[in-house]
Amino acid sequence: MGLISLLFSHPDQFLVLAVLLLYSIIAHEVAHGWVAYLWGDDTARRYGRLTLNPASHIDPVGLLMLFIVGFGWAKPVPVNYYKLGNSRLALMSVSLAGCAANILIAIIALFLLQFEEVSASPAFSTPLTILVRINIILGAFNLIPIPPLDGSKILMSLLPQEAQHNLARLEPYGFFILALLLFTGVLDPVIRFMQNLIYGFITLLFSLFT
């Protein structure tokens, strides 16, 4: 049953992984809030969401899904897009920030796995290996351009205003659309494509700096 089986087989590894995954979904949301703040929107700060305190972010269902199916979510950080000054670059950067945070976590985990002291210890190597995979899944999944995922807002930043409004109208139905597409497997090749892009990007970075 997903990652829950690790709890019974290797509870020490599960504990390390649980903490790392918890902060992976928190970092995703905080990244949105911080980048929005840099563009002039202090909504997340005023709501006390620019913090790593789990109590401010945890969505119980999203956390449970993370361990059952391999991807989940925290409570979305509030962003007032009107405060971004109608800037396409601001909208894109705020939307990309969460995925970038997940990719950065994957890169850091891969870097740590290069050290023999880490890779030789299953207590750390196993959680870090899973952490890489799940953060890349989180990044890839959120890049799908279906509201309310980040990919939809990235796409909006590239579309004319009327098309933006048409895409935004799908948001109330986004959860059901995503559930249907996931259940039928339609999104599987899309997610794999996004994952391959991210893996390719990380491989390129490692080849440049190692």
**162 carries an active-site annotation:** no
Q: How far apart are CA 207 and CA 148, in angstroms?
A: 34
Contacts 24+ apart (CB under 8 A), 53-62: 54/22, 54/26, 57/25, 57/26, 57/29, 57/30, 58/22, 62/25
Distance of CA 85 to CAs 36, 140, 151, Å? 11, 28, 20
Q: How far apart are CA 130 and CA 202, in angstroms?
A: 16
Q: From the candidates 29, 116, 117, 162, give the one annotated as an active-site residue.
A: 29
Q: Which of 141, 140, 142 is nearest to 153 (CA)?
A: 142
Q: How far apart are CA 7 and CA 175, in angstroms?
A: 29
Helix runs in the chain, H state only: 4-9, 11-38, 43-46, 60-69, 88-112, 116-119, 122-142, 150-156, 161-168, 174-184, 188-209
Where in the sequence numbering do the catalytic residues fall?
A: 29
